[in-house]
Each structure stands twice: as structure tokens, then as C-alpha cells.
Chains A and B, each alone.
Chain A
């Protein structure tokens, strides 16, 4: 009995290890994951901006930190050879206009940094800087992401 459980646990570990390795090794998979995290993090901020939940700076800050950390990692996930496949929505422009893509990334990082530094304590005070961050999401998607469902 113990043996079976042991084997089962071992295989679980192996399996987990394998998927982790896979995610680390596959830039497309990692891109999706990071941007999904970003979407999740944007949600509470958006609900506050919509007036559907109360403003809470601590929650906003947690989300902004997610944006900041992804903005540092994201740019390394577009090696040659990852232009297509895995349902990627990354647009060819990322490779043909790398400078512009890096600029879009920098705009996002800067807007996020400004919002963190401002430490706005009310929704009205936060609106300009958070709106500025959201604008940079759209700016990058508009030029560097294709939509093929």
C-alpha cells in the first residue's frame, strides 16, 4: 500500500516537474501565462474604476507590482522561432519592429512606475495614473497583437 502511494506521489512529482520544465522552456506558453496573470491583476483595478467595488490602494498596489514584474520579463519571451504556433497572438511586428515593441513595453513600465510612486489614496486621485496604465495595455495590443479566434 505504502509503496503504491509512494509511486503515485513520485509520478505526480515527475509530472509536475515536467509541466514546469515545459512552461519554462516554451516561450509561447509562458507569454500566455504572464498575460493571463496581467489580465487577472487588471480586473480588481477595472472594477474599482467602473465603480463596482470600493477603492483599495493595497489591492491596486499588488496589481501594479504584477504589471511591473511582468514588464521586466515579457520582452525576453520572443526569441526567433516563436513567431507562430501554440495559438500565439503575438503579431509579426514584434520581430519586424522590435524597437517599437520595446518602446511599448517601456511605456507600460513607466506608467506603472508612476502610478506606484503616486500612491493615490482615493479613486479620483488614482484615475489619471491608472487610466494611463490601461492606455499602455491597449497601445501595445493595438500594434503588436493579432486577434484570430
Chain B
């Protein structure tokens, strides 16, 4: 074989490997469990997952409140170091939203960060956490989303700088960092902790804000929930492990009450981006909030 032919072949191999490495992993229809979507359970998953915090259309430039949280027309802008993301319409509108999607399409978006046409989603959509949600929960959630009003209007594209603008490159990132395995080592014989882990590490996506990231934007698992710089500006997002100086003085009751009411033990109110999270947690049952609390008390402390 001539040198030329050999180099050409090598290049082709590299290109193929690159294509494969950046390609999309997806579930197939036969991987879906036999499960009929349950709307009531789906509503709980919806609040646990905080979908409204990003997808509810802002009202007069402010975040949606009350009933407006159920109008998932998108349009919120997320200003990040990578560029400007515009949150899409996920209302059940056939053209502008996800009304025409199959259950499998929805599961693939949530677990694998892949669109129905096989494109990668950016992790500004926190599927890096949602990948840990049980598939049954996703099917319930889809059933619930279908009951919400359809909202008109397609949202414009993101404005991202090169190379972030190339979706294909995310395939490699996902191979490195998308992992549906549980993060914290907990006592799996304790059902309350298992529920807490599912809610915090999966739907609740608490780590997306409370865990610091490396330069490529992946969460540092050895500093899980240990506090992080605030992407939205000044200050830090607090450490919520038992190693936090502030939370050391909070009893389990204090934490549960904070999640339920938004008041700290000093009767100051919750602030910043946690306000919307707390409003969602207030919609859950007392048992769910107790499980989240038990998990936070049980994970390894980060100093």
C-alpha cells in the first residue's frame, strides 16, 4: 500500500471514529417499560423537576407565578459564559411545542439529551441530572405535560460563540460526562434515603446549581453539593452538605420548613434562584421533603 493510500485510510478511520464518538446514543422503543402514564404522579414529577422555572413563559419580563407556571411556551433567556440560550416551547402545541412527539422522543430528550432528529441538546437543559430519573416517572411526566394548555409561538435559536455553536461536539462531551449512575454513596437499605437520592440527584437537579464544575462545565463529583460560584453574578451558591457552616445549625425540621415555606431558621426568606426552586418543593408532599432532607443530612460533608 502506498504511503498516500495509507494516510488517506488513517484519516478516514479518524474521521469515522470522530463521527462515532460525537454521535447520539438513544433508547429504542423496546427499552421502554410497559407502563401507562399516570397524570397525578406526573404532576408531582413536574414540580420535583422544576420544568416551569425555565420553560414557563416570562410575564412582563418577570418570572411566571401561580397558574402562569403551567404555560410552557418558553422564551426565558439564559445568559451564560458560552452564550445566550433561549429556552424552547415544550407545551403540547403540535408545531411550536412538543405536541407531536412520541413517548420515546420525550424519554430520549430527558435521558440522553437527544432530539427526535438525533441532535444533541446542550446541558443548559439539565438532562445531566434528569438522566437519573426512573423511566416510569418520565412517562408519567409526559402524560401530565400533555394535559397542559398548548402555547403558540416558536422560540428563536440560541446565540452561541464558536465552538459552542456546534452541537455535534457535544457528543464527545456527553461520552465523557453524561452518566446515569447515582452520585453519593448512601445506605440503599434505607428507603427514605433512596427516595431522597432519586429526588435530589435526578428530578430535583440540585447539583446543577450547588456543585462546582470543571473548565468544561462538568460537575465535580468529589465536591458534590459543596457550593459553587453563582453563574448569574456575584456571590456563591451555598454548600448544602453537612459540612456547611451555615446549615450545621439547621435541624431536619428547619430544612423541611425552609423547603415548605421559604423561611430560614432566622425567619429571613429564601432568595435568588432558590425562590423558584422552593416554590416547586412546596408543591411536593411532606414525605418527599423529609426524604430530601434525610438525604442532605446523610451525604459526605464537603468542607
Contacts and interface: CB of A to CB of B under 8 A. Distances in A.
Interface stretch (A12-20, A74-82, A110-118, A135-143): A135-143
B253 interface: yes
B285 interface: no
Interface string A114-133: 00000000000000000000
Q: Is the interface of A mostly helix, strand, loop or mixed?
A: helix
Interface string A43-59: 10010011010000000
A130 to B, nearest CB: 11
Interface in B76-98: none
B8 interface: no
A138 B235 contact: no
Contact of A46 (B233, B236, B263, B271): B263
A142 B275 contact: yes
Interface of B: 233-236, 238, 253, 257, 261-263, 266-269, 271-272, 275
A52 B257 CA distance: 11
Contacts, number: 36
Contacts of B235: 147-149
A42 interface: yes
A88 to B, nearest CB: 14
Chain B interface, >50% SS class: loop
A46 B267 contact: yes
A39 B261 contact: no
Task: Report, nearest first, the 6 A-B pairs whose CB atoms are least far apart.
Answer: A147-B271, A42-B267, A147-B272, A39-B267, A148-B235, A141-B269
Contact of A149 (B236, B263, B275): B236
Given A40-B267, A46-B257, A146-B271, 10 more contacts: A42-B263, A43-B266, A46-B261, A134-B263, A138-B269, A138-B275, A141-B269, A141-B271, A147-B235, A147-B272
Interface residues of A, number: 18
A52 B253 contact: yes
28 contacts: A39-B267, A39-B268, A40-B267, A42-B263, A42-B267, A43-B266, A46-B261, A46-B267, A49-B261, A50-B253, A50-B257, A52-B253, A134-B263, A137-B269, A138-B262, A138-B269, A138-B275, A141-B269, A141-B271, A142-B275, A147-B235, A147-B271, A147-B272, A148-B233, A148-B234, A148-B235, A149-B236, A149-B238
A39 B236 CA distance: 23
Contact of A145 (B236, B253, B271): B271
A52 B254 CA distance: 10
A142 B253 CA distance: 24
A42 B262 CA distance: 13
